Amino acid sequence: MNRLEESLGELRGMEELAAQDSPVHRLHPGVKLILAVACILTVISFSKYQLSAMVPMALPVILAYQIAGIRPSLCFYRLRFVLPLVCFVGLFNPFFDRTPVLTIGAVTVTGGVISMLTLLLKGVLTLMTAFLLVATTRFDRICAALRRAHFPALLVNLLLLTYRYASVLMEEAASMTTAYHLRAPGQKGIHVSAWGSFLGQLLLRSFDRAERLHKSMLLRGYHGHFHYVDASPVTTKDVTVCVCGLALFAFLRFVDITRLLGGLFVR
């Protein structure tokens, strides 16, 4: 299976997740967007040594996953894109920052280790949050929420159309790569002699497709605007969840629960 087919499968998987039903799915997309951004902001606002204070931020995220009925492990596969750069940046911290912070028996934990772990945890938590947003909200509803927040119509329309055509073109490119590899067995990628023509062919065909698409859009009465079916008004419940969520994030940001909890047992 090539990378295109794999990505297509992931895209479909996300759509299936978003089509499920749960209290989190039913929440207004705008509220979810606000809460997700607030959660990520809270997580990244912790300083590089505040590892223990940040740990409780995992609780609301994991709770939301459970309420939504989505296994948290589903999103870990996606860490493969983000984690390399985070690791690259974080792995040097233990070598440069050697201030001892904590000694347990013979093991000394340095500031660099703490800041590296903080960075990794931040990476995982922010990814989990963003994943949950998309896994519980249909893309057209996110776009409708963006449009309501007065995002430029051009950009939102472009998002919707691109999302629609991404899977079409990925499918086409996937069958092209399969065909190519069947004719060039034992070859890893596209040979240099076909660098231009491979994607070029697809490009020309796609632009023709865009022209046909435009004509058919005009025939169906398109005049530069899409109409969004936004049947979900913001309810009192949505507002309550939003306010409670924001309050919770603020509480976790300013009160170090971990310390208080730990303080119950250790002095």
Partner 1 sequence: MHMADALLAPAVAGAMYVCSAGAAGVSVRGLKDEETTEKLPMMAVGAALVFAGQMINYTIPGTGSSGHLCGGMMLSALLGPKAGFLSMIVVLAIQCLFFADGGLLALGANIWNMAFYGCFVGYYLIWRPIMRSRLFSGMGEKAAVRARIVLASILGCVISLQLGAFSVVLETQLSGITELPFGAFTALMLPIHLAIGLVEGLITSAVLLFVYEARPQLLMDVSPAKDGSGRFSLGVTVAILAVITALVGGGLSLLASSHPDGLEWALFGNADAGYAENMALDEEDYGVVSPAAEAAASVQEKTAFLPDYAFADSDSPAGTTVAGLVGSLIVAAFAGLICAAGALVRRRRKAHA
The answer to whether 60 and 54 have CB atoms below 8 angstroms apart is no
Give the contact letters, 51-80, x = binds to partner 1 (CB under 8 A), - = no: xxx-xx-xx--xx-xxx-x-xx--x--xx-
The single residue among 97, 138, 148, 228 that binds partner 1, judged by CB under 8 A, is 97
The smaller minimum CB distance to partner 1, of residues 79 and 246, is found at 79
Q: Nearest-CA neighbor of 41 among 122, 161, 159?
A: 122
202 to 92, 106, 110: CA distances (angstroms): 43, 61, 53
CB of 229 to partner 1, least distance (A): 20
Site for partner 1 in 165-194 (CB under 8 A): 165-166, 168-170, 172-173, 177, 187-192
Residues in the chain: 267
The smaller minimum CB distance to partner 1, of residues 195 and 235, is found at 195
The single residue among 127, 241, 242, 248 that binds partner 1, judged by CB under 8 A, is 127
Site for partner 1 in 10-29 (CB under 8 A): 10-11, 14
Q: Nearest-CA neighbor of 241 among 68, 21, 20, 27?
A: 27
Give the contact letters, 221-250, x = binds to partner 1 (CB under 8 A), - = no: -xxx--------------------------
The DSSP secondary structure of 169-189, one letter per residue, reads HHHHHHHHHHHHHHHSTT--S
Burial 31-50 (b: 16+ CB within 10 A, else e): bbbbbbebbbebbeebebeb
The whole-angstrom distance between residue 206's C-alpha and the CA centroid of its chain comes to 28
Site for partner 1 in 137-166 (CB under 8 A): 139, 142, 152, 154-155, 157-159, 161-166
**Stretch touching partner 1 by CB under 8 A, among 23-31, 134-142, 227-235, 236-244:** 134-142
